[in-house]
Structure 1
Amino acid sequence: MGKRAKIYVIILTAILGIAILYLIKPEAIPQDPSYYEFADDRKIFGIANFWDLFSNIGFLFVGIWGLLQLNKLELTKWNKINVQLICVGIALTSLGSAYFHYQPAHDSLVWDRIPMTLVFMPFFSFIIALFITNKYHATQLLLLTLIGVLSVLYWIIGEHRCESCGDLRPYALVQFLPMVLIPLILLLFKKTNQQLKYLFLVFIFYGIAKVCETYDKHIFDLLNELLSGHSIKHFMATIATYFLIVWIRKTKAGFTNTL
């Protein structure tokens, strides 16, 4: 299969993913109020939801460490901006998520989700630049990042317009569509020295994080109220971001022609 045909496969898969979501969910998906009912709401040291809040600290350390490590790499301008944006997004996720868990509400959730889009979309842009083409790197990075931020703003504007008017479908696509397209890109555009074991660990720990989030209370009960699934989710996602930074560092040597 030629390169152009492979690109068409990626585009068609993306279109299909969007179409499937909007066919399955033809109406807007507002934020479920039960989302804010976390299993572990204990107050420790006078701080409500302590463990859900404190468990975000790892993102801050990984983000700062990532900036220090990746700034040492000899990258082109837009590749450096790309990886810096990923690291900043990771660090800001720590602050945004901590703020959200301190005061769980629609408005504080915005500051949790926007930083996450600064990780999801620049990561996707970086994959495209490395494996497909870096010819339009600046444009795709800015465009994808803007789409990510706008997906959150679109949701919150709807929530403010009227109760249950928010629509999470664009944000869902921002979060999950790259998780489908990235493995497909890796499969179609194979390169040597990919260090894919680290990228595989990113997906594994992110998947575990999502499972822990889904079974928040079940895990809390299973662990005799030691930690909740949501708190463990933060730890697992932190490990995922760590391996993402490691992958970028290790992979750099295999992409000297594009980086």
Structure 2
Amino acid sequence: MTPTSPIHDPSRLSAFSVVACGLMALWALAWLAGPTLLSMAGLALNPHGHADLYAHGHPFVDARSWWDVPNTLDVLSNLPLVLAGAAGFWTLRGRTLAQPTTNALRVFFAGLILSGLGSASYHWAPDAGSLVIDRLGMAVAFAGVLALSVAERVGLRESRGFLPVVLVLALVSAALPHLQGDVLPWAVVQFGGMGLVVWAAMRPPVAGAVGVPLAGVIGVYLLAKLLELGDEAVFHATGEWVSGHSFKHVAAACAALPILGGLRRQALGDNAPVPSAAMG
């Protein structure tokens, strides 16, 4: 059985405060100095919101279109994200969890659905505006998984206060590359946020946690990023059958699997919520 820690562990809460404040300070620096740092690095974003484009004018290698669907596989490969989010809401039905955990899960599952729809919209017609829509969905999903990690490994009270803050920062970060040409806050949300999940994963679950294996979430995220970075390499390795970016969408949907597994281990109706006093 996985060891658990008390709902309120002073040393853990102190460490979380340091980590969270550090991430927020880094985000503020990226927001205030991001355009200057990008300019000094000579990094300029094109209208697609990326640094480089292929000869066919898109930022991803596979621009094949079938059945009158532009960039067909990059569009259709987002369906697993929508299905994963819907499966999450279905699995959550009938399970009585602590409210901060439920809120984080709902935000995460909604983020998966929005990510699938937003990404499909972006790949249908890639440009800077549709990229914002794509990233807004991802921002919601990131906020949900970060708040869930805090609920599982730090405390319910901390997750309740953390969720609205990280959700706002993530949404703002998704729009800044288009509004200011500043991609650094978005990078902080993605990579700094996953750093927080890694930090949380190294700690035992708190009392009353669902028992989500955060290592599985981290592993799926790393796989998705590798597929994204290897977009062209995967495309050629598969005989130009499917690209790394299309696989990346499927891999990202699999981030729901460890969370769904944790939920399914909870018997319906048996999860008495943690008393409100325990959440502060």
* TM above 0.5: yes
Q: 1:136 to 1:204 in 2, by over 3 A?
A: closer
Tell me by how many angstroms 1:77 deviates. Answer: 3.6
Q: Name the structure 2 match of 1:238.
A: 253
Per-residue deviation at 1:215? Answer: 1.2
Find the aligned partners of 2:102 and 2:65 in 1 and give their Cα distance: 41
2:37 is aligned to: 27
Deviation at 1:137, TM superposition (A): 3.9
1:216 to 218, 231, 239: 231
Cα drift, residue 181 of structure 1? 1.3
* Residue ranges of structure 2 left out of the alignment (5+ in a row): 1-9
CA contact 2:61–2:232 (8 Å) conserved in 1: yes
- Residue number among 171, 182, 200 corresponding to 2:186 in the alignment: 171
Do structure 1's residue 149 and structure 2's residue 180 form an aligned pair? no
Residue equivalent to 2:148? 126
What amino acid sits opposite 1:34 in the alignment?
A: D
Deviation at 1:242, TM superposition (A): 2.8
SS, match of residue 70 in structure 2 = coil
- Distance of 1:17 and 1:255 partners within structure 2: 38
Cα 1:73–1:17 shift into 2, 3 Å: same
Measure how far apart 1:182 and its partner are.
1.4
1:112: Cα distance to partner?
0.7
Residue 226 in structure 1 maps to residue 241 in structure 2: yes
Aligned counterpart, 1:104: 126
Kept in 2: contact 1:18–1:173 (CA 8 A): yes
Do the aligned residues in 1 keep the contact of 2:95 with 2:271 (CA within 8 Å)? Answer: no
Task: Find the counterpart in structure 1 of residue 11 from structure 2.
Answer: 2
Given candidates 74, 85, 89, the residue that maps to 2:107 is 85
Q: Cα 1:204–1:188, aligned 2, differ >3 Å: closer, same or farther?
A: closer
Give the alignment's Cα RMSD to 1 decimal: 3.1
CA distance in 2, matches of 1:125, 1:215: 29
Pair 37,233 (structure 1): closer, same or farther in 2 beyond 3 Å: same
Distance 1:64 1:242 in 2: 12
Do residues 50 (structure 1) and 78 (structure 2) align?
Answer: no
Unaligned segments of structure 1, at least 5 residues: 159-165
More helix by share: 1
Mapped to 1, the partners of 2:162 and 2:17 lie a distance apart of 17
1:178 Cα deviation from its structure 2 partner = 1.5
